[in-house]
Structure 1
Amino acid sequence: MTQRVDLATVMDRLAIDEVVSGYAVAVDDGDWAAYRALFTPSGRADYSSAGGVEGPAGEVADWLARTMELFPVRQHLIVNRLVRLEDLGGSPGDSAEVRADFLNPMRLAGEDFDGSVTAPNFVAAGRYTFTLARTGDGWRLTGVTVHEKWRHFSV
């Protein structure tokens, strides 16, 4: 590989990492316009392993907006990111896959909830599979699949 190809690969990895981090921030902040903007027009999301829905990203964003009202405090931690770029004979292609573990502590809303930060009473964890494509607007998600491995609930 040449230095130019190496630099392009590094830049792609940084841009892909920004999309994955942007995903976590959008969900945690309830910024559903930002969530939608991370996807290609045909992008899809699958939360079925966590008891959720699967479908076009816009429809899933609507479902998330309703569901996340139950959790006014949430913090996605997406770690152990394994990025695989399409390889076109030594040059990066226009598609990528990221597998990454997640830990998602959340606080349920309740009558006594005053907005202060308290210990989470719902935690979910597992692995994401993100698929991405290079577009004219940069890297965008073509798919997100949640593979929930465990959850813990306490009152």
Structure 2
Amino acid sequence: MTLDTVLVAVGPSDADRYERLGEEAIDICGPADATVVLAHVFTEEQFAETLDRLEIEPNAEEATPGNAARRHTTTRALGKMLDEAGLAYEVRGGVGDHGEEIVSIATDTNADLVIVGGRKRSPAGKAVFGSTAQEVMLDAPCPVTFVRADTK
């Protein structure tokens, strides 16, 4: 299997684990010379709050999920890591259910691999990775790598 495109799912709760996601993307994509797609998905409410925070009018031409994703702090930090590693990347944004949108972006970009992050769970929570990660693992059109941020 060749890796041409690797999608890295970035969400609102990834601010504290973006470095692990970036390291994993660099470790996988560097040797393969693959393009990284940073995909940031917002709920409707998160998107509206982000536009407000960025002082973008909701009906303005630049009020797109992609523009909001490119300007998001976590996405910019990941982009800087990828730049420093010499990897090509693009940023995609989506609005809706996180898992469904990630799968949709993976399909649209013909991703060969999806990288999603998560946290260590309690014994009861181990049965389910988390609704977003689980949905992506079950529905993605390609293999999925789950990156656990905390190793304790």
Q: TM-score, normalised by structure 2?
A: 0.23
Query: Relative contact order: is structure 1 or structure 2 higher (C-alpha 8 Å, sep ≥ 6)?
Result: 2
Whose strand fraction is larger, Structure 1's or Structure 2's? Answer: 1
Higher Cα radius of gyration: 1
